[in-house]
């Protein structure tokens, strides 16, 4: 997260994907709203949520009365950061080459460093 961006840093961990569409969409919606409000946003995808970082998956995600997930993902990649859990990616045989451009893979130590930084707010969906 950059020190020059306005707003309190926010880390959003999303654990659900198509298996729990309302929870998944809520996490992405909150993260996108925070980006729009000027916050420094980092999204961590774990469990079934990692599929939303694979090309084509967010476009297939549908939830009535919700913003298109691919639009939210694009905004987060443009103005925030998306990271996929190392173990979650490995369990699904995914590498960074399988993910959308700009998405990285990192482990628990990096997540802990990020959420324990001064002034950071962490949310889990």
Q: How far apart are CA 32 and CA 45, in angstroms?
A: 14
**Span 29-41, mean pLDDT?**
96
Give which of 52, 23, 30 is closest to 121, Cα–Cα: 30
Query: What pTM does this model have?
Result: 0.92
Q: Distance of alpha carbon 119 from its chain centroid, rounded? A: 19
Q: Is the pLDDT confidence value at 2 over 80? A: no
For tokens 């090309």, the residue is 55
45-63: average pLDDT: 96
Q: So what's the pLDDT on residue 8?
A: 83
| Domain architecture of the chain: domains with CATH | 10-124 (3.40.1260.10)
What is the CB neighbour count within 10 angstroms for residue 93? 7
The DSSP call for residue 49 is: G
> 10 Å Cβ neighbour count for 26?
18
């Amino acid at each position: 997260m950059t020190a020059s961006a306005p707003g309190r840093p926010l880390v959003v961990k999303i654990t659900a994907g198509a298996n729990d569409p309302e929870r998944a969409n809520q996490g992405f919606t909150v993260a996108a709203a925070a980006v729009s409000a000027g916050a420094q946003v980092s999204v961590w995808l774990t469990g079934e949520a990692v599929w939303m970082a694979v090309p084509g998956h967010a476009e297939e995600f549908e939830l009535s009365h919700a913003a298109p997930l691919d639009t939210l993902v694009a905004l987060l990649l443009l103005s925030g950061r998306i990271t996929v859990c190392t173990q979650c990616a490995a369990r699904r045989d995914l590498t960074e080459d399988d993910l959308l451009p700009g998405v990285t893979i990192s482990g628990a130590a990096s997540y802990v460093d990020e959420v324990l930084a001064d002034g950071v707010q962490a949310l889990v969906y």
